[in-house]
């Protein structure tokens, strides 16, 4: 009977193979988790950079902040261009008037 028990028992290398497979699975899981965390950190850093850039752009638009929101959004581009051209012409006349005075 001892021979039949040895034949039905697992081979001696089975625990080593099982340990190797479980170690590989644990390593792959750890690597996947680490890569996922790195990708999340990268996404967070990119989002923060985007928010910083947007806040800088909004900070540069301080001249429009003085105008009412409705007038900025409601006006068409040609109307704004015409207003700017009129303002430029007015400043030009004022400069010419200053140069003409002795």
- Retrieve residue 28's tokens: 């792959």
pLDDT confidence of residue 77: 86
Residue, of 61 and 82, whose pLDDT is higher: 82
pLDDT over threshold 80, residue 64: no
Structure tokens at 14: 């089975």
Q: How far apart are CA 29 and CA 49, in angstroms?
A: 30
Residue 72 CB neighbours (<10 A): 13
Query: What sections of 1-102 are H helices per DSSP?
Result: 2-8, 14-60, 62-65, 69-74, 77-100
Alpha-carbon span 72 to 65, nearest angstrom: 9
């Amino acid at each position: 009977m001892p021979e039949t028990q040895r034949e039905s028992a697992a081979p001696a290398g089975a625990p080593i193979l099982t340990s190797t497979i479980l170690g590989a699975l644990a390593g792959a899981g750890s690597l996947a988790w680490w890569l996922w965390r790195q990708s999340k950190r990268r996404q967070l850093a990119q989002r923060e950079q985007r928010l910083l850039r947007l806040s800088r752009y909004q900070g540069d638009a301080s001249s429009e902040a003085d105008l009412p929101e409705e007038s900025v959004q409601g006006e068409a581009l040609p109307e704004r261009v015409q207003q700017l051209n009129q303002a430029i012409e007015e400043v030009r006349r004022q400069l010419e008037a200053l140069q003409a005075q002795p």
